[in-house]
Copies of this chain bind each other. A is one copy, B any other.
Amino acid sequence: MAFRMQFLSDNAASVHPRVWAAMQAADAADSPYDTDRLSAELDDRFAEVFQREVAVLWVATGTAANCLALSALVPPHGGVVCHREAHIEMDECGAPGFYLAGAKLLLADGDHAKLDPAGIARVLDAIRPDVHQVQPFAISLTQASEYGCCYAPGELARIDMLAGPRGLKLHMDGARFANAVVNIGRPAAEVAGPVDVLSFGFVKNGAMNAEAIVFFDPSLADMVRYRRKRAGHLQSKGRFLAAQILAMLDGDTWLHNAAAANAAAHAIASGAGERLLHPVEANEVFLACTVEERAALRSQGFGFYDWGPDAARFVASWDTRAEHAELLGQAIAGL
């Protein structure tokens, strides 16, 4: 059944016209494999975004971005602390185990799918520092989280205060990093905070199939260049991925798109009241919702996922039509 108004996921949203234009412009380029001019621009362009030196690699998917990023931080015998509901744990079919050669995810709890120092400490403190247990090497945060919630700069700083003394590196899964930047309203550097490597997502925000891995320690990128190739993620026509990313950065398209998606989410949630299960801090809305209520919404033409037996998830995209979001908001208010 096709719904007239889709809020299933931002995953499958359409591609932004600027991205299309940039890809077509890239076609003409004289571009040898892996040394094309567009890919070479990425470091400088992201250095502007983050106001510091970075090294940047493109890959086609968020799973590859996350796992290649982590492969620079965690040895095969190590562990990564992440939230129990993190994408790397729940939705990547064991990709971290594959990319990290059997390294282990160490699962922490925390509200709204966000890690907090207490939850992290509980995991870390339970690990005996002996060879019988996997020792942690990194913490992976998701900004915005699986429930569309953001880490404020102060929250990131407190996690860093825990991680630093223990020698733990920080990774950020930023599949919806743009939505977090818009929501927090601070420069990207503050929204990334103290992380060592960021998976900077574009696919959910208007790109076709390009994500950026941003290394704040540029020396880490070199090994990942090899690991990217080894994982079959080095595309010979990589100029098309670079073009997508550059187009998203041009004119702050990434921020405009995320702002539109966030605004749509707020419109959806506007009349949700007590139903709201998590604060709306990005482009996702989670609501308590009975089976009958969900059927009622669907009968009005709204497509969305059930989220367990008593809830529903609504995701807005950069291309969600504002009037659809408003209609959905009204329908929810009227349940």
Residues of A within 8 A of B (CB): 2, 6, 8-9, 11-12, 14-15, 20, 24, 27-28, 30-34, 36, 59-65, 67-68, 75-77, 79, 90-104, 130-135, 203-204, 208-209, 223, 225-237, 239-241
Contact = CB atoms under 8 A, between A and B. Distances in A.
Contacts of A100: 102
A232 B95 contact: yes
A92 B132 contact: yes
A223 to B, nearest CB: 7
Copies per assembly: 4
B230 A98 contact: yes
A313 to B, nearest CB: 14
Nearest to A89: B104
Given A131-B34, A228-B131, A232-B59, A94 B98 contact: no
A229 B132 contact: yes
A6 B30 CA distance: 9
A190 to B, nearest CB: 28
26 contacts: A9-B236, A59-B232, A61-B233, A68-B232, A76-B227, A77-B226, A91-B132, A91-B133, A92-B229, A93-B132, A93-B134, A93-B226, A94-B103, A95-B232, A96-B102, A97-B101, A97-B102, A100-B102, A101-B102, A131-B228, A203-B235, A203-B237, A209-B237, A209-B241, A231-B231, A231-B232
Nearest to A28: B14
B64 A93 contact: no
A92 B59 CA distance: 16
Contacts of A92: 132, 229-230, 232
Given A92-B229, A94-B103, 8 more contacts: A11-B236, A12-B31, A65-B232, A77-B94, A94-B134, A96-B102, A203-B236, A208-B240
Contacts of A130: 34
Contacts of A227: 76-77
A133 to B, nearest CB: 6
A97 B103 contact: yes
Contact of A232 (B33, B67, B77): B67
A133 B226 CA distance: 8
B76 A93 contact: no
B131 A234 contact: yes
